[in-house]
Amino acid sequence: MNQQHDDERTRIREAMDRLLSGRATDSNGSLTVVALAAEAGVHRMALLKRHADLKNEFYERVRNETQQVPEAEKRLRETVAKLKKTITNQNEDLEKLRQLVTNLTLASAVLTQRTGESSDPGPAPDNVIPFRPPTR
């Protein structure tokens, strides 16, 4: 590793300490990766790409030292809850549709059986023209 890389890592660790102790100087003091990057004076993508281990360490320290859940985790938990609710609703709709298919199949079978029982279809209305079988 080069000196610049080591310097970034040192600044990130110092920024972690300042944020977790509530002494933020260059950020809004929130316990997020964006605030950590601003506090350390590094680009957010550098923190996410080159120093992903420090990002994970930061979130672990937030969880352990402040007994708080990181914002990203809160958002993910909310999204998971919404998706679970959506899945439950879709499963209920699917069950209703399955019951409807069963009922329609039974109704179709009953109607088909009734039609098959009657050899005389009865008188056709005046506006119906019957199809004739093809001649050979």
Please tell me the distance from the alpha carbon of residue 25 to that of residue 40, in angstroms, as a whole number: 10
Question: Higher-confidence residue: 123 or 10?
Answer: 10
Residue 75 pLDDT: 87
Give the amino acid at 4: Q
pLDDT the model gives residue 123: 67
Q: How far apart are the C-alpha atoms of 94 and 107, rounded to whole Å?
A: 20
In the prediction, which pLDDT does 12 show? 92
- Among 48, 74, 50, which Cα is nearest to 62's? 74
Instruction: Tell me the C-alpha distance between 63 and 67, whole Å.
Output: 5
Q: What is the pLDDT of residues 95-108, one digit of tens each?
A: 999 999 999 999 99
Which percentage of the chain shows pLDDT scores above 70? Answer: 90
31-81 pLDDT per residue, tens: 888 999 999 999 999 888 889 999 999 988 888 888 777 777 888 999 999
Confidence band of 116 (pLDDT split at 50, 70, 90): low
Q: Encoding tokens for residue 133? A: 């079988």
